[in-house]
Every structure is written in C-alpha cells, then in structure tokens.
Amino acid sequence: MTTLRIGTRASALATTQSGLVADRITELTGIATELVTVSTEGDRNDRPLTDFGGQGVFVSALREALLAGEVDVAVHSLKDLPTAPAAGIALAAVPTRVDPRDAVVARDGLTLAELPPGSRLGTGSPRRAAQINALGLGLEVVGLRGNVDTRIGKVRSGELDAVVLAAAGLRRLGRIDEATELLDPLQVLPAPGQGALACECRAGDEVEPLLARLDDPATRTAVVAERSLLSALEAGCSAPVGAWAEVVSGDDGDELWLRGFVGAESGTPFIRLSATGSVRDPAGVGERLAAEMLAEGAGALMR
C-alpha cells in the first residue's frame, strides 16, 4: 500500500479533522495519505436535519464510497454516526477525544447568563435548544444550520445575539478564542460522542489493524456508553438527548460515570439522571441508564 485514501466531507472543519487523522496515520505507519472529498446529503440540503431524516445524512455517502472501494478510510464526527452497525464496515479507531463541551459565541463577549431576556440564540440542535430553554433565561432559541463561518457570521452581522457550537470544532480550527463561554457539561450535556472522531474502514481490510493504532481506549469506552444510551432510548442523533461519560479513578480502580438528559425542546419537562458502572461493560451502563430514563417517561419527551 503506497497511499491511503481518506474520505472526508468537504467543509473546512471536516477536512481539518481528516487531515489530523491523516497526519497521525503517516506518523505511526509511514504510509502516505491523500484526502478525497465526498458530498453528503447533509451538506447538500440546508433544511433542518429533523425535516429530512437526520440519521446518517453526513455519513451514508462516505460509507458508500468506502464499500465501493473509492476510499480506504472514512473519517466522521462520531456524534453523526447512526448507532446501528453498518454491514461490511468496521469502526477501527476512535482517537483521543477533544473537548466535548458546547461553546457560546455571543455579541460583546457575553455569556449565556449575561444575554438580556429576548436575545436571539441560534442552534440547529434540539438537544441544545431543550437544555438552554430549561435554564429559564428567557432567550429566544431559533433554528440555525451552516458551517462555522456561517453561524458565527450571524452574530458578527447582528442577525443573532449568540450561537452555540461544539467546542471541539472551534479548537480543531484554531478558533476557540472566539468563544465567549464554554458551557459546563453538568449544566448542558453534550451530544453522545461529541468531540470524538470515528475512523471507519471495510471490515477485515488490511487497513483495520493500522487504524487500530490510533484508538484511545478511554475515549472508546466513554462513547460506547453514550451511544448505548442513545440506542436504548431508540433516539436518533438529532433527538433532544445529551450524554457524557468519563472514565475516572475510584477506590477499586477505574470506574465509568455516565450522565444523561432527555427533554422537550421547550425546556420542560426534562429528565436528567446519572449512573456508574464498570469500564468493562460500557454498553451495559448505557442500557441501564436508558431503562431508568424510560421508566421516568423519556419516551414521551422524544416524540
């Protein structure tokens, strides 16, 4: 193998993320790489994700290119991956996670709490809308899609007072200084898998063990728990569900902590619960927390 073809979406953030993976592959294996851009349904359609499915709209075209042999690796934002396994495809690596928090970019350097009631805050995420509305700050949460430049541009032009984006994206683009606040994940839980990348290849391909060298066990454990919660709730990646897992040191060794949120976009009602368990069974921890949330009525909040 002389050159590894890495499939990526064409946005600045996607190519930056994929470029980081490409550099790491070359560093670890000595194999040259090239980026191959692939247009996805989510990139071609500017309607709200909930209007045209949401599940897999940023992923399917990359997976099709992978199975067709047009690329050797596909790099995704892990939060965009459907929770169901894809036939013929292996999740070969989950590299070390970057900051999972949400970031606020607001006019005049303001934080959420400093924005006057009635301020217009943009987000395309029902999860963010639900949790920000639950804070009771009196903000007007409005729908928003587009790349980082488009979203921040709405604040710079005065069309919006603030937007909320993933801190990881701003960090990878070298733009984290534009954030006026990083939201405490105990206050606003991130999306399952937020801040992590997913490196996929064809199952059984010679690339799979090479990619495995990029895998970070603690990150994989955390995102397996988060995605198991999402799957057990039977919720899609655009549902108003937040989850955040951490591997922490306990008296008897490493433990897994998982926190979950499900809420109505209006902010009420909502359910926020947590669970702990073994790092050896992250899927079980996620499923157990989901069962507790469903018992509290989480299913009705996602309809």
Q: Catalytic positions, please?
A: 80
Half-sphere exposure of 115 (CA within 13 A, CB side): 26
Name which of 73, 96, 74, 98 is nearest 169 in CA terms.
Answer: 98
User: How far from the centroid of its chain's Cα atoms is residue 67's Cα?
Assistant: 24
Lookup: tokens for 148: 């980082």
140 Cβ contact list (under 8 Å, min separation 6): 118, 119, 120, 121
190 Cβ contact list (under 8 Å, min separation 6): 100, 101, 102, 166, 242, 243, 244
Only one residue has tokens 């928003």, namely 144
